[in-house]
Amino acid sequence: MLRFALRRFVVALLVALTVMVLSFMLTRLSGDLAISIAGASATQADVEIIRKAYGLDRPLVLQFLEWIGRAALGDFGESFFFKARTADLIKERMPITLTLGLTGLILALLVSIPLGILAAVRENTWVDRLVQVIAMVGQAMPSFWLGLILMITLGLQLGWLPISGTGGPEHYVMPGIVLAFSAIPALTRLTRAGMIQALGSDYIRTARAKGLSRLSILGKHALRNAAIPVVSIAAVQLGFMLGGSIVIETVFALHGVGFLAWESISKNDFPVVQAVVLVLALIYIALTMAADLLNALLDPRLRAA
């Protein structure tokens, strides 16, 4: 198990390094940072002063190595627009994004796992086909469109929920539903496929021959084995939700990390953009690694892979 964990950790480090290189280079390829900071009305002398003040006149390799060294210590520099430490901005807004992502994942699991089990138990019936249609519709539905529909119906017409802003738990309901819809199709299909395979296994037939109850067979035996791939995809979906929160937080005006990224992109605040991309990528990498380790604990055969 230790060797398996070490291998996964080395892979995670390599992926993190790749993300750091890409996030650094993409901001540089988007244009001259000194001109973006100075503004369109700045003179060439002003641009040169800013370029020297922020160290943008040095070779890219040195700038990258310095950024890596500071980022490893949790220092992502200072925001050009907010005039505050980037790490403090992310720390302040991260709880909102994490709450939103966890809300979406919990809602998705509460819907997708029962639907997947129901479809597997009623395989090739109208119930199974209806579940697959629901999953297909959820996969094709744009998240921003669903968000606007919910805002109009639940917020404006019925007045049940606030349509925007950061506040109490009620502000996370509609954004959580939108995020959940993006994950429900994949989780439902995976649960259905895993349950169908498990229900056709020899140990399930043995359990039935022993006279175990249907609920015990489905919950204790079949679902336990079917849940192994669901664990991996759930962690991946949570990472997607945190990354996709940029759109959802902008639509619902939730002032989380996603909204911070949108503000920073619109203001050419490149230190914040780099830091947000890196932090969200590191969270995604950590979630994927945790899912791999959990799967290895549930299925020892994976440790030899």
Residue 26 lies in a domain: no
Give me the CATH number covering residue 173. Answer: 1.10.3720.10
Residue 133 lies in a domain: yes
* Rg (the chain; Cα; Å): 24
The more confident residue out of 224 and 250 is 250
The total of structural domains in the chain comes to 1
The per-residue pLDDT for range 14-26, each reduced to its tens digit, is 888 888 888 777 7
Q: Which of 51, 59, 49 is nearest to 32 (CA)?
A: 51
* pLDDT band with cut points at 50, 70 and 90 for residue 298: low
Residue 127 lies in a domain: yes
Residue 257 lies in a domain: yes
Task: Average the pLDDT over 166-184 and give the result.
Answer: 83
Distance (Å, rounded) from C-alpha 260 to C-alpha 277?
A: 11
Residue 74 lies in a domain: no
Domain that holds residue 138: 94-268
- Is residue 254 within 8 Å of 96, Cβ to Cβ? yes
The first and second tokens of residue 54, run together, are 């922020």
- Is residue 248 within 8 Å of 143, Cβ to Cβ? yes
Distance (Å, rounded) from C-alpha 99 to C-alpha 261?
A: 17
The first and second tokens of residue 117, run together, are 């089990």
Mean pLDDT, rounded, of the chain: 78
Residue 209 lies in a domain: yes
The per-residue pLDDT for range 90-133, each reduced to its tens digit, is 888 888 888 888 888 888 888 888 888 888 888 878 888 888 88
Residue 199 lies in a domain: yes
Task: Average the pLDDT over 202-228 and give the result.
Answer: 68
